[in-house]
């Protein structure tokens, strides 16, 4: 019987927001595995006792990046971690979008402002400011040129906390056609979903946001699938990828652009795609017994 650690975060005092977690535990156990959900930062866990550590929902890692990176290194020395540790570390900082763009992958244009940089902000269109290490729209906000003073204060707050900021044009199609999330598992396309706009103008950067509003099943176009596959092909050392989610939006010309490649802890949306559960379970079991 293989032992699988499904790695999550400690949500206390709130309940976990990972709706995929109980489904995965239940179905892996039903398939014959010894699967259990564990917190990545629990000092009492013997990671060497597991055949596989499946990083599932470590949703507080963006605030504890150095600590999380250290855990990845330690865990990766005693058991198999998926996705691979090198891939996870690469994906922790969204400056990877620059690498994708340099490789010719269509991406949302992005500038990066590190602490100490001049706050170079657009003066001709709406834009988004968010940290290069973030999840769930944390510290993200949407601005117009008239909001410059507020955006500068936003940058100052992030820089004071050590974050590098990314500045992107707000892609207006999101308000009409939403974002697409294309999910891959076991090296194959699994399913896709679409959601509405997360950021509304005037919402404070430190306010809570609904991460996946209006989520629905989506059938990707051939162009969307092709861009997502190009993005994944550009990921360094991608041969060991077990899971991935590529988030796309439509540019001004109607063609898909990569907004994010999520290789660490993406929602799988299994409640929306129940037929994908057996595929995911079998892929995880194969990973647990792979040499």
CATH code for the domain in which residue 17 is found: 3.40.50.20
Residue 280 in domain: no
Q: Let me know whether 183 and 160 are in one domain.
A: no
pLDDT in the model for residue 33: 97
Q: Which of 1, 46, 9 is nearest to 28 (CA)?
A: 1
Q: Let me know whether 115 and 165 are in one domain.
A: yes
Question: pLDDT grade, residue 136 (50/70/90)?
Answer: low
Q: Let me know whether 32 and 54 are in one domain.
A: yes
Q: Let me know whether 85 and 139 are in one domain.
A: no
- For 130, the 3-state DSSP assignment is strand
pLDDT in the model for residue 212: 81
Query: Does the pLDDT of residue 203 top 90, yes or no?
Result: no
- 7 or 202: which leads in pLDDT: 7
Q: What is the CB-side half-sphere exposure of residue 246 using CA atoms within 13 A?
A: 29
21-42 pLDDT per residue, tens: 999 999 999 999 999 999 999 9
Lowest-pLDDT range of 96-110, 172-186, 205-219 = 205-219
Determine the structural domain holding residue 73 and report its residue range.
3-92
- For 251, the 3-state DSSP assignment is coil
Query: Does the pLDDT of residue 206 top 80, yes or no?
Result: no
Q: Which of 228, 269, 229 is nearest to 249 (CA)?
A: 228
Query: Does the pLDDT of residue 239 top 90, yes or no?
Result: no
Question: pLDDT grade, residue 123 (50/70/90)?
Answer: very high
Q: Which residue has the tokens 């117009």?
A: 144
pTM, to two decimals: 0.94
Lowest-pLDDT range of 97-101, 127-131, 199-203 = 199-203
For the residues 211-216, what does the mean pLDDT come to? 86
End-to-end CA distance of the chain: 15
pLDDT in the model for residue 155: 94
Q: Let me know whether 19 and 67 are in one domain.
A: yes
Q: Let me know whether 63 and 42 are in one domain.
A: yes
Residue 105 in domain: no
Residue 241 in domain: yes
Question: pLDDT grade, residue 205 (50/70/90)?
Answer: confident
Say how many domains are in the chain. Answer: 3
- 204 or 194: which leads in pLDDT: 194
Residue 106 in domain: no
Q: Let me know whether 188 and 264 are in one domain.
A: yes
Domain endpoint, select from 148, 169, 190: 169
Contact 182, 228 (CB under 8 A): yes
Question: pLDDT grade, residue 147 (50/70/90)?
Answer: very high
Q: What is the CATH number of the domain that holds 200?
A: 3.30.470.20
């Amino acid at each position: 019987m293989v032992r699988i650690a499904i790695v999550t975060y400690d949500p206390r005092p709130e309940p976990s927001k990972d709706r995929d977690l109980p489904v995965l535990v239940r179905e892996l156990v039903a398939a014959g595995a010894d699967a259990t959900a564990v917190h990545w930062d629990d000092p009492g866990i013997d990671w060497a006792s597991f055949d596989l550590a499946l990083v599932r929902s470590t949703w507080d890692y963006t605030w504890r990046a150095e600590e999380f990176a250290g855990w990845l290194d330690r865990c990766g020395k005693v058991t198999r971690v998926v996705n691979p540790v090198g891939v996870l570390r690469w994906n922790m900082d969204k400056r990877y979008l620059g690498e994708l763009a340099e490789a010719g992958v269509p991406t949302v244009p992005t500038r990066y402002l590190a602490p100490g940089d001049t706050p170079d902000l657009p003066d001709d269109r709406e834009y988004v400011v968010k940290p290069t290490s973030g999840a769930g729209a944390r510290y993200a906000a949407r601005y117009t040129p008239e909001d410059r003073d507020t955006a500068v204060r936003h940058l100052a707050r992030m820089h004071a906390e050590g974050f590098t900021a990314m500045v992107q044009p707000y892609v207006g199609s999101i308000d009409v056609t939403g974002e697409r999330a294309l999910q891959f598992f076991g090296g194959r396309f699994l399913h896709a979903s679409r959601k509405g706009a997360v950021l509304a103008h005037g919402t404070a950067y430190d306010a809570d946001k609904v991460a996946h509003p209006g989520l629905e099943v989506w059938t990707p176009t051939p162009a969307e699938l092709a861009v997502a596959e190009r993005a994944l092909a550009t990921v360094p050392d991608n041969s060991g990828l077990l899971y991935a989610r590529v988030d796309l939006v439509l540019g001004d010309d109607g063609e898909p652009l990569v907004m994010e490649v999520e290789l660490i802890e993406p929602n799988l949306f299994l409640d929306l795609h129940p037929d994908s559960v057996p595929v995911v379970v079998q892929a995880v079991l194969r990973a647990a017994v792979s040499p």
